Amino acid sequence: MSSVTVIYRSPFETAICSSDAAINIDNPRYPPQIRGMPEDLEGVVATSTRLSHVDGEAGRLTIAGYALEDLAPYASFEEVAYLLLHGRLPEPAERVRFTQDLAGRRPIDALRMAAALLSLGREESPGDDAMTAIASFPTIVGAYWRALNGQEPVPVRSDLPHAAHYLHQVFGAEPSTERARALATYLNTVCDHGLNASTFAARVIVSTRSDVISAITGAVGALKGPLHGGAPGPALDMVFEIGTPERAESVIRAKLDRGERLMGFGHRIYRVRDPRADVLARAAERFYASGGDQRLYDLAQQVEATALRLLRERKPERRLETNVEFYTALLLHGLGFPSELFTPTFAVGRVLGWSAHCLEQLRDGRLIRPQSAYIGPTGLHYDRGPARPAV
């Protein structure tokens, strides 16, 4: 094994340790601040928050004190937004004012929206930026999607609640109460989730005292990856690929034989079923029962059961359960969203959490600056050569 050197710097000391291990952060020669720290920051508490708590062992998600399943299916998105931004649910008059404030910020055209989001020529104001971003995301996604498909953007309606407004921006028609309720439940369910990768990215960016819009832009980039928010499309593709219940076993076995991951299963924190999957499964069940493609819903349930059985068989030592993405795909598909809009729709909900985390970070946080353990070589000799005098 090659000899490596780990260099670290702490507020108290600077030191260089040599080690024969590739990297062993339990090495007693490292200072206590580093010893025992896992790579990839798994399990490391990097900040404190009042916004949401993910209990991975018990499979519970608490949003600012409320159990997800008590809040998401019943509250409006505006109420949840107020809760995360102000730390409590609004009184009736506050709810009306907040709803009007949010609706009044819906940008009138894509250009103005894009300009606001690019932070061009604006006074920075964290609270205002947060509200503007939350209000703008539905229109950005809707206008962009319609333009891409050769359709005119629809005028912004400030009289529709947030979830209904998003459906209107994408599909151009006022949605039924059931569709708006199903989408509000989805947006509430994904609005915040502890220190996930995109939220962490946002907090890191704003911890430098950069602006909220820049932080949100970075968060969108982090969300896009298939290991984070980019999984619902592939999760549904698998259900379509399987097509009929009898093919579930053979298709899933073949995927696992090829070493592929089953999209919509597994989670870094949850060791039990993701509680968001339950809330969304119930929302999807209600929605599909009210006129959707019931056959697809039943097929998805059979695919889920088969996937869980085979994952247990293949990885008995690792509890891999259904995550939020599996039923996200089913619900959003039922609502008529094409798979290209699954991740943007996730962002329409999660921008609330990013914004609230940015405000919390600006209020209570310090510069986030973890350390890295250097495992590369040291002491290499740079050959200046005879014709290369020092400059």
User: Of 99 and 328, which CB lies nearer to ligand ACO in the complex structure?
Assistant: 328
Instruction: Indicate whether 265 belongs to the interface with ligand ACO (CB under 6 A).
Output: yes
SS3 at position 164 = helix
Encoding tokens for residue 249? Answer: 């076993």
Choose, by CB under 6 A, the member of 105, 179, 203, 228 that binds ligand ACO.
228
For residues 14 and 231, give the distance between their C-alpha atoms in angstroms, rounded to a whole number.
42
Query: Could you tell me the smallest distance in angstroms from the CB atom of residue 260 to ligand ACO?
Result: 7
Q: Position of tokens 């990097």?
A: 46
Pick the closer one to ligand ACO by CB: 192 or 325: 325
Question: Do the beta carbons of residue 311 and residue 197 sit within 8 Å?
Answer: no
Stretch touching ligand ACO by CB under 6 A, among 48-56, 119-127, 141-149, 257-265 = 257-265
Two structure tokens written together for 31: 């200072």
Q: In the window 325-344, what residues touch ligand ACO (CB under 6 A)?
A: 325
Is residue 134 near ligand ACO by the rule CB under 6 A? no
8 A C-beta contact, residue 379 and residue 4 = no
Opening angle at CA 187, ends 181 and 191, nearest 5: 145
DSSP 239: H
CA dist 26 and 320 (Å) reads: 28
Considering beta carbons, is residue 113 or 231 the nearer one to ligand ACO? 231
Q: Is 323 in the site for ligand ACO (CB under 6 A)?
A: yes
- Position 267 contacts ligand ACO (CB under 6 A): yes
Report the nearest approach of ligand ACO to the CB of residue 222 (Å): 10
Residue 266 binds to ligand ACO (criterion: CB under 6 A): yes
Nearer to ligand ACO, 142 or 353 (CB): 353
For position 321 contacting ligand ACO by CB under 6 A, the verdict is no
Q: With respect to ligand ACO, which residue has the nearer C-beta, 83 or 329?
A: 329
Q: In this structure, are strands 14-19 and 52-55 parallel, antiparallel, or unpaired?
A: unpaired
**Residue 248 touching ligand ACO (CB under 6 A):** no
Nearer to ligand ACO, 122 or 319 (CB): 319
Interface stretch with ligand ACO, choices 16-24, 228-236, 239-247, 294-302 (CB under 6 A): 228-236
Q: Which positions from 343 through 382 interact with ligand ACO, judged by CB under 6 A?
A: none
Residue carrying the six token digits 């008529």: 336
Active site positions, annotated: 267, 325
Q: Is the dihedral of CA 45, 81, 229, 248 positive or negative?
A: positive
Strand partners, 18: 5
Q: Which of 80, 135, 231, 300 binds ligand ACO (CB under 6 A)?
A: 231
Q: Roughly how many angstroms between the first and final C-alpha of the chain, as a whole number?
A: 38
Which residue among 23, 315, 364, 371 contacts ligand ACO (CB under 6 A)?
Answer: 315
Supply the minimum distance, in Å, between the C-beta of residue 262 and ligand ACO.
Answer: 4
- Angle at 162 (CA atoms; ends 159, 163), nearest 5 degrees: 120
User: Residue 126 carries which side chain, given as an amino acid letter?
Assistant: P
The closest alpha carbon to 276, from 263, 267, 289, belongs to 267
Site for ligand ACO (CB under 6 A): which residue of 264, 275, 292, 353?
264
263 makes contact with ligand ACO (CB under 6 A): yes
Max CA-CA distance within the chain?
A: 82
Kindly list the residues in this chain that would bind ligand ACO in the complex (CB under 6 A).
Answer: 227-229, 231, 261-268, 315, 318, 320, 323-325
